[in-house]
């Protein structure tokens, strides 16, 4: 493990003025070659981060949900170029916002339907209900009505029906926008399979791979093992953050989102990432085919969409079906292999997967803001450097 000394020193340094604690695991050729835990999962109780620490995955849920949907794709249950409304009829008559040169804003039907590929690729035009765009405000209003009507207990299908009433920000497929697409992918899985997304994930991924500590709802002692979410002030001071999304982990909750909502341990996520790195099979259990994984990690963006997607954190990456994918090492300043792919979670979780080298890396912390660019890109550099 001596070759990973620099990585361990880096992760230890993170806990001095950053997250209270962090974890990192690396596998190559299906074998764990690095495992490190640093700092505290709960500073107030003096609980250290360890193999049993459970982390909120937030948007790293997306990679799992899109993989689940591609299982159905491989079974011939849908095609990427089919209209989404063939399975989710509420998208039959999608509207979009139009802003005239005069500033006049109105709503008109889209010229083309939302396709399933648009939901995977975040090109539907549906924002999350944050920010001040007219679409975001309308989605926020519709969600508020749904929340009031149900007392906060509603299903993914209920949420999708409400969201479908809002106009999209652009003609589907023309731009890239981080938003609601993968919740639509989860709805597609539910509609085709006849199961909740949580049940489908358990049956097709978590159970077969032995991911016993991953899910939407608390079970066993999961709640007690969950790392505390901390807010970081500019001076590095940490304080426990109110975690409103944890209400969806409760036993009586209904919503299982496609874009967030799962929890898991570092080792559980490494099993999933290792399966993708190995071409879809782990320890004799086949989840997905290598050619399907290659389709997922192919860059699907045109020039304008790539411009929408690219920022300093995502430099060098394109975007495929639910994952970013490295297409330009120089632009990204990255020592990771071309074709390396993965995603990030809002609280600081991150994964990088390379089928070319059969390598999977998983890093996790729980902090807001997550300071992803500072931490993740340093982990990427140190981890891939140690693997040479």
Position 177 pLDDT exceeds 60? yes
Residues 6+ apart with CB under 8 A from 2: none
Residues 6+ apart with CB under 8 A from 181: 118, 119, 120, 121, 122, 123, 124, 126, 259
Tell me what the pLDDT averaged over the chain comes to: 96
Q: 92 and 40, same structural domain?
A: no
Q: 90 and 119, same structural domain?
A: yes
Q: What is the structure's pLDDT at 2?
A: 60
Q: 118 and 51, same structural domain?
A: no
User: Taking residues 319-330, what's their average pLDDT?
Assistant: 98
CA dist., res. 264 & res. 346, Å (int): 14
Question: Domain range holding 110?
Answer: 80-193
Percentage of the chain beyond pLDDT 70 is: 99
CB 125 within 8 A of CB 135: yes
Position 266 pLDDT exceeds 60? yes
Q: What is the structure's pLDDT at 99?
A: 80
User: Taking residues 156-171, what's their average pLDDT?
Assistant: 97
Which of 193, 225, 244 marks a domain boundary?
193
Q: What is the structure's pLDDT at 245?
A: 82
CA dist., res. 151 & res. 149, Å (int): 6
Q: What is the structure's pLDDT at 302?
A: 97
User: Taking residues 190-212, what's their average pLDDT?
Assistant: 98
User: Taking residues 317-337, what's their average pLDDT?
Assistant: 98
Q: What is the structure's pLDDT at 226?
A: 97
Q: What is the pLDDT of residues 289-319, one digit of tens each?
A: 999 999 999 999 999 999 999 999 999 999 9
Antiparallel, parallel or unpaired: β 54-56 and 31-42:
unpaired
CATH of the domain at 363: 3.40.710.10
User: Taking residues 206-215, what's their average pLDDT?
Assistant: 98
Q: 262 and 301, same structural domain?
A: yes
Q: 290 and 310, same structural domain?
A: yes
Percentage of the chain beyond pLDDT 90 is: 94
C-alpha dist (Å) from residue 261 to 95, 183, 216: 28, 11, 6
In this prediction the pTM is 0.97
Position 388 pLDDT exceeds 80? no
Q: What are phi and psi of 108, to 5 degrees?
A: -135, 160
Tally of CA atoms within 13 A in the half-sphere of 239 that contains its CB: 5
Q: 67 and 90, same structural domain?
A: no
Number of H helices, E strands in the chain: 14, 17
Q: 376 and 312, same structural domain?
A: yes
Q: 366 and 224, same structural domain?
A: yes
Q: 381 and 271, same structural domain?
A: yes
Which of 166, 193, 220 marks a domain boundary?
193
Q: 67 and 172, same structural domain?
A: no
Q: 216 and 146, same structural domain?
A: no
CB 225 within 8 A of CB 52: yes
Which of 165, 193, 221 marks a domain boundary?
193
Degrees to nearest 5, angle at CA 251 with 126 and 246: 50
Q: What is the structure's pLDDT at 208?
A: 98
Q: 206 and 61, same structural domain?
A: yes
Position 78 pLDDT exceeds 90? yes
Q: What is the pLDDT of residues 218-247, one digit of tens each?
A: 999 999 999 999 999 999 999 999 877 899
CA dist., res. 75 & res. 71, Å (int): 7
Structural domains of the chain, count: 2
Q: What is the structure's pLDDT at 79?
A: 98
In 3D space, the residue among 119, 137, 118 whose CA is nearest the CA of residue 128 turns out to be 137
Q: What is the pLDDT of residues 20-70, one digit of tens each?
A: 999 999 999 999 999 999 999 999 999 999 999 999 999 999 999 999 999
Residue 1: pLDDT band with limits 50, 70, 90: low
């Amino acid at each position: 493990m001596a070759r990973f000394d620099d990585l361990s020193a880096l992760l230890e340094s993170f806990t001095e003025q950053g997250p209270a604690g962090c974890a990192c695991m690396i596998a190559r050729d299906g074998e764990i070659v690095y495992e490190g835990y640093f700092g505290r999962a709960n500073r107030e109780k003096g609980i250290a981060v360890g193999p049993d620490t459970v982390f909120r995955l937030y948007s790293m849920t997306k990679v799992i949900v899109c993989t689940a949907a591609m299982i159905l794709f491989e079974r011939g249950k849908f095609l990427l170029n089919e209209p989404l409304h063939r399975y989710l009829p509420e998208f039959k008559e999608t509207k979009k916002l139009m802003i005239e040169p005069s500033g006049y804003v109105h709503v008109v039907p889209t010229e083309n339907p939302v396709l399933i590929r648009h939901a995977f690729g975040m090109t539907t035009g549906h924002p999350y209900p944050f920010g001040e765009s007219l679409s975001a405000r309308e989605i926020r209003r519709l969600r508020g009505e749904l929340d009031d009507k149900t007392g906060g207990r509603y299903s993914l299908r209920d949420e999708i029906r409400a969201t479908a009433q809002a106009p999209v920000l652009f003609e589907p497929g023309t731009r890239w926008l981080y938003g609601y697409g993968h919740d639509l992918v989860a709805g597609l899985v539910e509609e085709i399979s006849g199961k909740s997304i949580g049940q489908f994930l358990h049956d097709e991924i978590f159970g077969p791979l032995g991911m016993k500590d991953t899910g939407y709802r608390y079970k066993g002692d999961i709640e007690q093992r969950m790392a505390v979410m901390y807010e970081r002030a500019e001076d590095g001071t940490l304080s426990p953050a109110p975690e409103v999304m944890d209400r969806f982990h409760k036993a009586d909750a209904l919503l299982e989102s496609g874009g967030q909502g799962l929890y898991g341990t570092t080792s559980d996520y490494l099993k999933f990432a290792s399966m993708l790195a190995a071409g879809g099979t782990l320890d004799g259990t086949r989840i997905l085919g290598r050619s399907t994984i290659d389709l997922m990690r192919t860059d699907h963006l045109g020039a304008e969409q790539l411009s929408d997607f690219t920022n300093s954190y995502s430099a060098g990456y394109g975007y495929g079906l639910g994952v970013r994918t490295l297409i330009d090492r120089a632009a990204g300043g990255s020592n990771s292999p071309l074709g390396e792919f993965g995603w990030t979670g809002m609280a600081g979780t991150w994964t990088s997967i390379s089928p070319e080298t059969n390598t999977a890396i998983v890093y996790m912390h729980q902090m807001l803001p997550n300071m992803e660019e500072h931490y993740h890109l340093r982990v990427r550099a140190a981890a891939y450097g140690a693997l040479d």
